[in-house]
């Protein structure tokens, strides 16, 4: 998918737009993970988090913070989950391969699970240590 076929490039449905400035906009998702799901979207087409210029990444984060407060007040969720897209388009994880910051209100018994259920074992602790070393090596 390129900019010409991307539904977020040139998005202009003001009925679902809740915020707009010179570099980004926010909409109520028409394909929500949970009800009242809001997306913060850069106007310029980026496919991954790591492609965002630093200044834009900071800006989107601050807009998401402001919108999360408004979402809390608008729909009174029990919690909010924030998700970010990064490199999700190449394997079909994403319906629209245009970077977006997800603000997902959570409600008791909404049945949307992020499974934190892996218990610590010696084996997975060893795997964690090996993985941590791999990340630290890449940061050097």
Binding to Zn ion, residues 6-45 (CB under 5 A): 6, 8-9, 45
Q: Which is nearer to Zn ion, 80 or 96 (CB)?
A: 96
Q: Which is nearer to Zn ion, 41 or 63 (CB)?
A: 41
Beta strands in the chain (DSSP E): 17-20, 24-28, 38-42, 79-84, 101-106
Supply the DSSP symbol for 119: P
Binding to Zn ion, residues 99-128 (CB under 5 A): none
Residue whose Cβ sits closest to Zn ion? 6
Question: Could you identify the residue written with the tokens 């074992």?
Answer: 121
Task: State the Cα–Cα distance between residues 33 and 105, nearest whole angstrom.
Answer: 9
Q: Which is nearer to Zn ion, 87 or 110 (CB)?
A: 87
Contact letters (x/-) for Zn ion, 44-83, by CB under 5 A?
A: -x--------------------------------------
Q: Which is nearer to Zn ion, 81 or 94 (CB)?
A: 94
Task: State the Cα–Cα distance between residues 84 and 47, nearest whole angstrom.
Answer: 11
Supply the DSSP symbol for 8: T
Report how many residues bind Zn ion under the rule CB under 5 A.
Answer: 5
Question: Could you identify the residue written with the tokens 């699970």?
Answer: 113
Name the site residues for Zn ion (rule: CB under 5 A). Answer: 6, 8-9, 45, 98
């Amino acid at each position: 998918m390129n900019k010409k076929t991307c539904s977020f490039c040139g998005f202009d449905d003001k009925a679902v737009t809740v915020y707009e400035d010179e570099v980004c906009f926010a909409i109520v998702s028409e394909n929500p993970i949970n009800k009242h799901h809001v997306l913060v979207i850069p106007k310029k087409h980026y496919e991954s988090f790591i492609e965002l210029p630093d200044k834009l990444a900071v800006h989107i984060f601050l807009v998401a913070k402001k919108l999360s407060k408004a979402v809390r007040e608008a729909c009174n969720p029990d919690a909010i989950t924030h998700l970010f897209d990064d490199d999700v388009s190449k394997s079909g994880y994403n319906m629209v391969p245009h970077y977006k910051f997800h603000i997902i209100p959570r409600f008791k018994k909404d049945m949307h699970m992020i499974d934190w259920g892996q218990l610590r074992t010696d084996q997975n602790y060893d795997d964690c240590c090996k993985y941590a070393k791999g990340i630290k090596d890449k940061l050097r």
